[in-house]
Structure 1
Amino acid sequence: YTAEAQVAAGSADAVVRPEELRETLGRWLRLLTRPSAEPAPPPAALGAAELPATGWEAVRRARSPERPRAAAYLDAYFTGRLPIGGDRSGGADPEGMLCGFGTHGERTVAFAAQTGTATRPAGYRTAARLVRLADRLGIPVLTLVDTPGAANDAAAERQGAGAAIADLFDAVAAARTPVTTLVIGEGGSGGALALAAPGRTWATPDSYFSVIAPEMAAAILKRPCSEVELTADRLRVRPQDLVELGVVRGVVGAVGDRTRDHLFPGTGDRRP
């Protein structure tokens, strides 16, 4: 029943020292009492500017250990931020999902950011909690997509991985506050799609977004390992492919004309 144990179990957000309590409460009150109806702008790309030539190149660049991760994007985007953690159901995923509120310019923006690992159920539930809290307070949300997919081990299944992902889908789709998404690395399957905002998703040049990893797609199609790279091309996972398919609005920071919004004329609908 220690405070630290409550944080580890996802029942509390942080342990605050008595001498820091006044300042911490003041920061939280300032963050949570600044509603805004304007969407959060997507962050600037921090990695490569050149678009990948092939699908497999896009996958390799997204998986590169040298690519900027969520923490770097959050540091560049916010002048200050405070985290929340835990799903209030007995779990936390501090290594896979970063959630909280921060100051961007003069406004408060909530954030839920994947870190490049396989996101665990507690991470999805924490993100859903973040989105619903921001929605109640009228604060715009920024999500960063970067995961090879949801954790699919036995422990994740016992913790309700499918229900947690579905709940986040519901939270993002039902939010009245604007949600902005930037795909900064791997966008693997429904574990990535759950964080993607309908109609307000962008990608960076060193990212990809796919219903399935090319290795798994090749295996399902009973193709040899030598055809994995060709499968990546046929999946059309490159950022520029995503723009042409209408999956994302544009590629942030790319060389050329891919940085503009690609909206279908007339209705503004997003269609593949």
Structure 2
Amino acid sequence: MAEGARAVLADVAAEFAELPFTDPGQTTVDGPIGWPGYDDARSRAAERTGEAESVVCGVGKIGRAEAVLVAFEFGFLGGSIGERTGLRVQAAFTRARELGLPVVSLVATGGSRMQEGMRALTQLHRLARQSALHRAAGLPQVAVLRDPATGGGWATLGAGADVTLALPGAQVGFAGSRVRPPGDDHAYTAESQHEHGHVDQLVDRAALPARLERWLLLLTCRSAAAADPPRALGAAEPPADGWAAVRRARAPERPRADAYLDAHFDWREDLGGDRCGGVDPGVRCGFGWRDGRAVAYAAQCGTPTLPAGFRTAARLVRLADRLGIPVLTLVDTPGAANDGAAERAGAGPAIAELFGAVASASVPVTTLVVGEGGSGGALAFAAPDRTWVTPDSYFSVTSPEAAASILKRAAADVPATANALRLRPADLVELSVARGIVGP
């Protein structure tokens, strides 16, 4: 059984003040559908746990950050969501908006409360409504998935949060252990949800307070100022011609996105996937801390970008835009993945999604091309008016090899084709594709 709500709150928050709640009182015997013995079951649960319901809500301090905390008490009827649970969560979200605070949900629930029938299930509408109102107010939500996190609790407060963390080994899934088909137990674990892009990070219990503090600091630091492009980490001298620029950008020793992110930020936290079942290991998305403020980042790591990578980047840009946090993108890809698997996974729609997210962002987006800039798969990551390039990068309508093939040229003509494409850093500045070339 999951650890009690009070113990989790004491471990996570240095200070916690429970919110007052006016119970609407009981108007029926054994609940809204007259479930035999329900009143007795509630009384026993209250006596056993010391709680009046399956959630405990209040304002807490997590390190330097403040948030409204919603902690599920699994010992109270399996942390199930009933009508009073929904009312308490609604009151907590309402108070959070009054205070301008984020909400952290510490989820441990088996789902909706059977003894209240559809009156229990419709509380998911209530929870979803509160989550939507919080998003509309520009306030972040973080979920921590404890064990178990199933049913409607996972499908609203858990999966619906801006950032979802999970304790290793936790049972996480829409179907609870007693109703799902046998044979694929791994699919219902925190590890599987992380592998498939539904959970952002797996966090050990001991590291949870510090990780929550970092996320809350990052997500609540609004700024109107654009992010500065990082400094160049590789070669400083300009390439001799277009083909030299291509070969330099493709060099194995050339610095990649991780080196740029580590050098640019004091510390950072990654998001884990596209929330649609996909993760692209060749794309890094998250939020970093630099010079006392937060910056969101979406970085290509030098590989063909998968549809999941474009969708994760679009998720990042939309989240940063809603929270008022500037965005930094790093371009480095030979192009979008173009095999059959990528097409079936929606390469075109995923690229369109990212183009739309960047185009509609109200926060400033800054781009640095750090390596290969291959065609539309690279351009989707680029800001149309705030793009810089490094001396060891190139940006092209397509690769020189593909251009030669399209123009029915011989393989020996690839270097000349690269020169004709005017893809060098200096060419990009002259063509007004880039604002400038960054130095070391």
Match of 1:41 among 228, 235, 238: 228
Q: Which residue number in structure 1 is paired with residue 292 of structure 2?
A: 106
Match of 1:64 among 251, 260, 268: 251
* Aligned-partner Cα distance in 1 for 2:279–2:406: 33
For the aligned residue pairs, the C-alpha RMSD in angstroms reads: 0.7
* Aligned-partner Cα distance in 1 for 2:402–2:214: 45
Q: How many residues align?
A: 253
Match of 2:207 among 20, 27, 36: 20
Match of 1:81 among 244, 268, 282: 268
Match of 1:197 among 373, 377, 383: 383
In the TM superposition, what whole-angstrom CA distance separates every residue of 1:11-36 from its partner, at most 9, and x where no partner exists? 11011111111111111111111110
**Secondary structure of the equivalent of 2:269?**
strand
C-alpha displacement at 1:152, in angstroms? 0.7
- Alignment of 1:135 onto 2:321: yes
**Percent identity (aligned):** 69
* Aligned-partner Cα distance in 2 for 1:213–1:23: 44
Q: Which residue number in structure 2 is paired with residue 177 of structure 1?
A: 363
* Aligned-partner Cα distance in 2 for 1:216–1:160: 22
After TM superposition, the score normalised by the length of structure 2 is 0.57
Greater relative contact order (Cα < 8 A, sep 6+): 1
After TM superposition, the score normalised by the length of structure 1 is 0.92
What residue identity is the alignment partner of 1:251?
I
Q: Which residue number in structure 1 is paired with residue 429 of structure 2?
A: 243
Between Structure 1 and Structure 2, which shows a larger proportion of strand residues? 2
Structure 1 gap segments, 5+ residues each = 255-272
* Aligned-partner Cα distance in 1 for 2:369–2:288: 19
**Secondary structure of the equivalent of 2:214?**
helix
What residue identity is the alignment partner of 1:78?
F
C-alpha displacement at 1:194, in angstroms? 0.1
**Secondary structure of the equivalent of 2:398?**
coil
**Secondary structure of the equivalent of 1:136?**
helix
Match of 1:233 among 419, 422, 431: 419
Moved over 3 A (4+): none
C-alpha displacement at 1:47, in angstroms? 0.4
* Aligned-partner Cα distance in 1 for 2:214–2:272: 17
Structure 2 gap segments, 5+ residues each = 1-187
C-alpha displacement at 1:218, in angstroms? 0.7
Larger Rg: 2
Q: Which residue number in structure 1 is paired with residue 168 of structure 2?
A: none
